[in-house]
A and B are shown apart, each in its own frame.
Chain A
Amino acid sequence: EIVLTQSPDFQSVTPKEKVTITCRASQSIGSSLHWYQQKPDQSPKLLIKYASQSFSGVPSRFSGSGSGTDFTLTINSLEVEDAATYYCHQSSSIPRTFGQGTKVEIK
């Protein structure tokens, strides 16, 4: 099973600040890494697929990078509405796995 480890677990950020979340895979997964945003009491929403491809309708301030074992989600100029928990997810192999999540709080 591929283990995904996100860091940090929690981040408190002021609006307009830049946010960087990392996801490390226990073995190489190529670019088969996706990022999801989950707001309280909502279902997850796809932000970035295959490490760097923005999903339709996602604001341009969200971007992703990386390949192999190390990946990054960047939120440029954080907005209040971006308060959420962010998860990485791999589709390289079964069982699919998720990172433990990174909660982003607005200061």
Chain B
Amino acid sequence: EVQLVESGGGLVQPGGSLKLSCAASGFSFSDSAMHWVRQASGKGLEWVGRIRSKTNNYATAYAASVKGRFTISRDDSKNTAYLQMDSLKTEDTAVYYCTRMTLIPDDFSLDFWGQGTLVTVSS
């Protein structure tokens, strides 16, 4: 069974940092690209960024709203993806989901999602 479990959310002051983790199980994590998507309360889904597999040189990409402030990484030995968030702003307040890209070749859909972790940026 595919499982994605996020952790690390909490309350942080504007300008502060937070690092989220996404622990994966039930599939070949090292072969999968991992994405982060966020959702502010009562709002829609916003793509944050992604990291590809070792085969694809761990390539990363980010939304313009977080580029230069957020960094996605992964540790395949721990089956875990990370989202390092620096210079946080109040508008970064949201539930953050990790989601995996399907392992089917040439299929870029996001097929399984974690339960999310809440990040609140407030003074």
The interface-forming segment of A12-20, A65-73, A75-83, A92-100 is A92-100
Interface size on A, residues (CB 8 A): 23
- B115-A96 in contact (CB<8A): no
A49 with B107, Cβ < 8 A, contacts A43-B115, A95-B63 known: yes
Interface size on B, residues (CB 8 A): 24
Which of chain B's residues has its CB closest to A91's CB? B108
Query: In the complex, A91→B110 CA distance in Å?
Result: 9
Chain B interface helix/strand/loop/mixed: strand
CB-defined contacts of A32 to chain B, threshold 8 Å: 108
Residues of chain A in range 20-58 having any CB-CB distance to chain B below 8 Å = 32, 34, 36, 38, 43-46, 49-50, 55
Shortest B36–chain A CB gap in Å is 11
B58 at the A/B interface (Cβ < 8 Å)?
A: no
Residues of B within 8 A of A (CB): 35, 37, 44-47, 50, 61-64, 97, 99, 102, 107-116
Residues of A within 8 A of B (CB): 1, 32, 34, 36, 38, 43-46, 49-50, 55, 87, 89, 91, 94-101
Leading 5 A-B pairs by shortest Cβ distance: A91-B108, A49-B109, A43-B113, A96-B47, A98-B45
